[in-house]
Amino acid sequence: MRALAGSEDAYRALMERHRAAVYRLIRAQIDDADAALDVTQDSFIAAFANLHRYDQARPFRFWIMRIALNKCRDWRRRRAVRSFFSRAKPIDQGLEVEDSAPGPDIKTAGRQELARVRRAIDALPDHLRSVLLLRTVEGMSQSDVAAFLGISSKAVETRLYRARAKLNEMLRETPAPHV
């Protein structure tokens, strides 16, 4: 692989080939387009900085997607910490903190429903959310998801079933938006 030798053209080619898939996966995990772009960039920076760790016996796509999932988890943890500290500020300083709740511009029932589903997906445990998103958003086969996550194909099937059941349960419990 020429990228291992430090070829910038090879870096660029790898990024061009995998950028859209990595962004889709991250965007499905993060409901903020700007943050998703930042996390995508961070994923490629981390990948290229650690290219010497890449196992050429495995597909590069799986490796970069694993890094992207880890970066999404890091982003969620940082967001949770920021959220905690933003609520701990005095009330006058809290006014400067951006509200991440949907604003008044979300008026259509379709957008509200999409936001409701996204929140439910975000609430799934990581091991269920990852399988659900890799299968549905990325369209990866069951065997590819298994290889990517390092689990059995049966575990993918079970996690996917549990993710869908949990998602349906959460959506039943949360009332649909009224227009």
For the chain, helix (H) and strand (E) counts, in that order, are: 8, 0
Question: Does the pLDDT of residue 133 top 80, yes or no?
Answer: yes
- At 100 the pLDDT is 58
- At 155 the pLDDT is 93
Question: Does the pLDDT of residue 143 top 70, yes or no?
Answer: yes
- At 166 the pLDDT is 92
What average pLDDT does this structure show over 112-131?
Answer: 85
- At 106 the pLDDT is 46
Query: How does pLDDT run across 40-81, given as a tens digit for each residue?
Result: 999 998 988 888 888 888 888 888 999 999 998 888 888 776
**Token match 């080619």: residue?**
13
95 vs 132: CA distance, rounded Å: 37
Higher pLDDT, 119 or 95: 119
Q: Which of 100, 97, 14 shows the shortest CA–CA distance to 63?
A: 14
Query: How does pLDDT run across 145-156, given as a tens digit for each residue?
Result: 888 888 999 999
The conformation of residue 99, written as its DSSP 8-state character, comes to P
Q: What domains sit in the chain, N to C, each tagged with a CATH number?
A: 1-100 (1.10.1740.10), 102-179 (1.10.10.10)
Question: Does the pLDDT of residue 88 top 50, yes or no?
Answer: yes
Q: Which of 116, 150, 113, 115 shows the shortest CA–CA distance to 131?
A: 150
Query: How does pLDDT run across 3-36, given as a tens digit for each residue?
Result: 555 567 777 888 899 999 999 989 988 888 899 9
123 vs 54: CA distance, rounded Å: 31
